[in-house]
Amino acid sequence: MNVVILAAGMGKRMQSALPKVLHPLAGKPLLQHVIDTALSLEPSRLCVIYGHGGAAVPSAVQAWGGKSGLTIDTALQQPQLGTGHAVMQALPQIDADAPTLVLYGDVPLTTAASLRRLVEAAGSDKLAILTVEQANPFGLGRIVREDGRIVRIVEEKDATEAERAIKEINSGIMVIPTRYLAGWLQALGNDNAQGEYYLTDIVARAVAAGVPVVSAQPSAEWEVAGVNSKVQLAELERRHQLNIATALLERGVTLLDPARIDVRGELLCGRDVTIDVGCVFEGRVALGDGVTIGANCVLVDTSVAAGAQVKPFCHFEGAVVGEQSVIGPYARLRPGTTLGQDVHIGNFVEVKNSTVAAHSKANHLAYVGDADVGARVNIGAGTITCNYDGANKFRTTIEDDAFIGSDSQLVAPVTVGKGATLGAGTTLTKDAPAGKLTISRPKQLTIENWKRPVKVKK
Ligand code: UD1
Ligand code: CA
């Protein structure tokens, strides 16, 4: 099968410099949604028709195609003379012996299941149209039937009053027997209200040529909804998020409010996971059995192991959180953070590119960067690893059972030995030996007979 994706329209109503099909829905460009769905149908050829936005669309498409193993072709349509003219640009790229599925780059949520039904209905020699009965069909092409059979499609602007009363609309998505396509497209005229070459006119041609025209329906109306404005983009985003939330609920995840979760990527959940309101998940996020995520957390490319609790207002990116750990509120885990079992990271603690082994704690106001922290370590409030000298970064090693007094600075590269204690306020510039107290602050001093200055009377 060939797939041709129409994406040349300019998207004026988006009021944006970015080509319409590159606007993100759930963090992924509209066109990439369509391409991913198309790829799941394993087409032999895939061609994207682009127009506006210069090289932005083809270069994005090349980047996504690389991952799939299929070369995605692009063809420029300039000027844009209509949907029929757009499909014509793909003719040199497609295989004449296989049917051609036409998709729109601005219709992101069509499911592969619905497309498979359409492809099945088309078989090898029929023209199949994805149609929907719509309460308000305004603006869309209407499916004209005689004795139940499709005879043509008429656009809103060309329709008679009687035709405008038809509720069955053309989604624009169709499967066409490719061997007839070139001939039908060449015969298209543009003598219509918009002066365009309408792809929809091939329907009447098929009927005239005795090629059967059939239809299939998607499971829901939103599957064929297109994006022409930011309002429609926001509506489809909500619909998509609600679909994801519903799927999570059906798999047993507890969502305190399914209308207040955003998944921009893949969220994998074990059993008995609870997610409070206002959380955002990006990239690949995995939550183990019994994990709870507090309100207003953002988790990016992160895994949280079984039984861990994430309290409100945390931000994790590229992190691994161990079983039974307790993180937050207000904790930040940056890329390269790996926390072992039962690690406690509290409020206003930032961890970056560090490993923290089992049962260790940094409960308040600390920066742990480029560090290897052993097991059962206590990192006091206000502790900072000074990992950067302004030019280079160095690692800090804190061995098992060490106790770092509050407000200490560990100037890397430096090692705190096993079971060592650092006194509060230590600026550690040399290794602290195992099992001993190291302290760098001057001895406390009390001045006897000292008096506070008093204001001089003038
Ligand atoms: C088209 C259909 C209409 C259908 C509607 C569904 C035609 C003539 N009409 O309407 O029956 O109900 O879609 O939304 O086909 N595009 C190009 N090049 C062009 C023109 C359009 O690539 O020259 C692309 C657009 O980027 C868009 C898609 O084709 O992705 C549809 O174009 P749009 O103008 O939105 O649809 P209509 O032509 O109004
Ligand atoms: Ca449209």
| Alpha helices (runs of H) in 55-165, residue ranges in sequence order | 56-68, 83-88, 112-122, 161-164
Give the angle 426-432-437 at the CA atoms, nearest 5°: 65
**Cβ-based neighbours of 192, under 8 Å, separated by 6 or more:** 155, 157, 158, 198
Q: Collapsing DSSP states into helix, strand and coil, what is residue 19? A: coil
DSSP β-bridge partners for residue 50: 7, 76
Q: Give the number of other CB atoms < 10 A from CB of residue 44.
A: 12
Secondary structure element (H or E) that encloses residue 384, with its range? strand 384-386
Compute mean pLDDT per 10 residues along the chain, 458 residues long, and list them.
94 94 97 97 97 88 79 95 98 97 98 98 97 96 98 98 98 98 97 97 98 98 97 98 98 98 98 99 98 99 99 99 98 98 98 98 98 98 96 97 98 98 98 98 94 94
| Alpha helices (runs of H) in 201-341, residue ranges in sequence order | 202-208, 230-250
The answer, yes or no, to whether the previous bond of 329 is cis (omega within 30 of 0) is yes
Q: Give the position of tokens 């302290």.
A: 439
For residue 52, the model assigns a pLDDT of 81
Q: Report the C-alpha gap between 420 and 409 in whole angstroms.
A: 15
**Cβ-based neighbours of 90, under 8 Å, separated by 6 or more:** 2, 4, 47, 49, 73, 75, 100
Give the angle 117-122-126 at the CA atoms, nearest 5°: 165
Q: Report the C-alpha gap between 170 and 132 in whole angstroms.
A: 7
Which tokens hold the place of 281? 């998940």
Per DSSP (E only), the strands in 400-454 are: 403-404, 409-411, 414-416, 421-422, 427-428, 437-438
Ligand 1 within 6 A of CB of 426: no
Atom of ligand 1 nearest to the CA of 104: 30
Q: Give the position of tokens 């499911």.
A: 111
Q: Give the position of tokens 């082994």.
A: 357
| Alpha helices (runs of H) in 45-196, residue ranges in sequence order | 56-68, 83-88, 112-122, 161-164, 178-186
Ligand 1 within 6 A of CB of 224: no
CATH architecture under which domain 252-438 falls:
3 Solenoid (2.160)
Is the CB of residue 233 less than 8 Å from the CB of residue 25?
yes
**Cβ-based neighbours of 72, under 8 Å, separated by 6 or more:** 35, 46, 47, 48, 61, 62, 64, 65
Which ligand number lies closest to the CA of residue 76? 1
For the chain, the domains span 2-224, 252-438
Ligand 1 within 6 A of CB of 8: yes
Topology of 2-224 in CATH? Spore Coat Polysaccharide Biosynthesis Protein SpsA; Chain A (3.90.550)
Ligand 1 within 6 A of CB of 103: no
For residue 10, the model assigns a pLDDT of 80
Q: Among all residues, which ones are annotated catalytic?
A: 364
Task: Report the length, in residues, of the chain.
Answer: 458
Q: Based on the number of CB atoms within 10 Å of its own CB, is 142 exposed (0-12), middle (13-18) or buried (19 or more)?
A: buried
The answer, yes or no, to whether the previous bond of 413 is cis (omega within 30 of 0) is yes
Amino acid letter, 209: A
Q: Report the C-alpha gap between 121 and 58 in whole angstroms.
A: 31
Say if strands 142-146 and 421-422 run parallel, antiparallel, or are unpaired: unpaired
CA of 147 to the centre of ligand 1 (A): 27
For ligand 1, atom 20, the nearest C-alpha belongs to 82
Q: What is the pTM assigned to this prediction?
A: 0.94
Give the CA-trace dihedral at 357, 359, 364, 370, to 10 degrees. Answer: 0
Torsion-angle region of residue 422: left (phi > 0), alpha (psi -120 to 50) or beta?
Answer: beta
Ligand 1 within 6 A of CB of 261: no
| Alpha helices (runs of H) in 108-155, residue ranges in sequence order | 112-122
Is the CB of residue 297 less than 8 Å from the CB of residue 304?
no
For residue 66, the model assigns a pLDDT of 65
Which ligand number lies closest to the CA of residue 228? 2
**What radius of gyration, in Å, describes the C-alpha atoms of the chain?**
31
CA of 436 to the centre of ligand 2 (A): 73
